[in-house]
């Protein structure tokens, strides 16, 4: 689709109510582009932006502004956004007004993450890649599909002066370039929902066996309430100590639960898997329109044999299917397929679901004030 030769697109600040209505009217958008996400990131100044063609709202974005140390200049960040027509063959129509608006807001640069997929790999391809000594990275494997839309977006961004960013690091942000997802609709153009049985058959033997074992052992999976976040967080801190990552505080999850929960019923869900009264796994799921995400997870070191993690994932997948999701998103993976890399275990866990690896166009920067942007770039390079 092209807007060339049609009414120009203009941009202005919109209310959170306008923003919410726009997101609700679409089939899906990233939860990081919902107005409620601004409450989860209070250290950033937030703004809801709207693109208009005459009086019609045709695009929206959550823009987060982060101030540079000691300088009143900002990085304008649009995580997994903006929500615009990325199939347009004149993206400048959308992005040039964005840059002009950000400049007026004191931004020295804009960073965004277009929600556009460039390549896909099947679970079998990823599995074979891990087993192949000649393969070290996902990009060493010929993809199942290359997206023309994705290639067109990349080409246009280069032409418009945007710069691709590395998949690691980021200005207190940075979203994954590679995700692992389970399609919940069939390959037909009608997007016919898959059945639970079909999704289960797509999983590998180990996943199916573990789901059955959890049921046989009496693992019970239930949805939790805000009051159960403390139990989730205790298990999450335990997981962080075991797996050597820095946990977020309980307050972060309480804010997240309130912000997304207040925005739309069923947007955020807490899941608890118990065995004989013991909490063995707990997760947080999010759904916006037809896109469902596994956002955070925790599991106990004890009783791993009852397979609580598999049980809770299966219940989340079933819930997503029942709620009309077209995709269940297990979020980020690294691009390494080296069997000696410590990240491969997580990839293998996700690959067992029988889904597919997808590559997004990644995050891109547009320098507005080149001198300040260059200093920021050097500052970030020293930090990494």
Cβ neighbour number for residue 73 with a 10 Å cutoff: 18
Lowest mean pLDDT of 38-47, 67-76, 117-126, 132-141, name the range: 67-76
User: What secondary structure letter does DSSP report for 114?
Assistant: -
User: What secondary structure letter does DSSP report for 89?
Assistant: S
Helices (H), 85-222: 92-104, 123-131, 148-159, 196-202, 205-217
**pTM for this one?**
0.94
Mean pLDDT for the chain?
93
Over the stretch 238-293, which tens digit does the pLDDT of each residue have? Answer: 999 999 999 999 999 999 999 999 999 999 999 999 999 999 999 999 999 999 99
Over the stretch 89-137, which tens digit does the pLDDT of each residue have? Answer: 999 999 999 999 999 999 999 999 999 999 999 999 999 999 999 999 9
Asked whether the beta carbons of 76 and 107 are under 8 A apart, the reply is: yes
């Amino acid at each position: 689709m092209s807007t060339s030769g049609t009414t120009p697109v203009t941009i202005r600040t919109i209310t959170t109510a306008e923003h919410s209505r726009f997101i609700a009217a679409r089939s899906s958008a990233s939860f990081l582009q919902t107005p409620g996400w601004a409450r989860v990131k209070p250290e950033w100044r937030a703004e809801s932006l709207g693109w208009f063609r005459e009086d019609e709202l045709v695009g929206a974005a959550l823009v987060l502004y982060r101030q540079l140390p000691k300088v009143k200049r900002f990085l304008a960040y649009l995580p997994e956004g903006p929500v615009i027509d990325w199939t347009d063959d004149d993206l400048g129509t959308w992005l040039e007004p964005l840059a002009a608006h950000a400049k007026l807001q004191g931004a020295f640069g804009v960073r965004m993450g277009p929600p556009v997929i460039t390549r896909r790999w099947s679970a079998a391809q990823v599995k074979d890649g891990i087993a192949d000594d000649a393969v070290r990275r996902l990009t060493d494997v010929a993809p199942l599909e290359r997206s023309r839309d994705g290639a067109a977006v990349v080409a246009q961004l280069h032409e418009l002066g945007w710069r691709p960013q590395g998949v690691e690091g980021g200005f207190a942000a940075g979203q994954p370039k590679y995700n692992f997802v389970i399609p919940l609709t069939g390959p037909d153009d009608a997007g016919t929902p898959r059945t639970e049985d079909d999704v289960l058959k797509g999983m590998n033997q180990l996943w199916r066996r573990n789901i059955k074992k959890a049921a046989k052992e009496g693992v019970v999976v239930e949805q939790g309430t805000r009051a159960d976040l403390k139990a989730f967080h205790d298990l999450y801190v335990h997981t962080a100590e075991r797996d050597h990552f820095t946990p977020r505080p309980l307050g972060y999850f309480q804010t997240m639960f309130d912000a997304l929960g207040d925005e739309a019923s069923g947007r955020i869900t807490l899941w608890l898997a118990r065995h004989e009264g013991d909490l063995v796994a707990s997760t947080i799921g999010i759904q916006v329109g037809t896109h469902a995400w596994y956002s955070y997870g925790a599991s106990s070191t004890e009783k791993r044999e009852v397979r609580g993690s598999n049980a809770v994932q299966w219940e989340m997948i079933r819930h997503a299917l029942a709620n009309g999701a077209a995709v269940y998103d297990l979020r980020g993976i690294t691009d390494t397929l080296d069997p000696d890399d410590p990240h491969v275990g997580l990839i293998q866990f996700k690959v067992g679901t029988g889904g597919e690896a997808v590559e997004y166009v990644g995050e891109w920067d547009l320098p507005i004030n080149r001198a300040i942007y260059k200093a920021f770039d050097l500052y970030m390079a020293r930090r990494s």
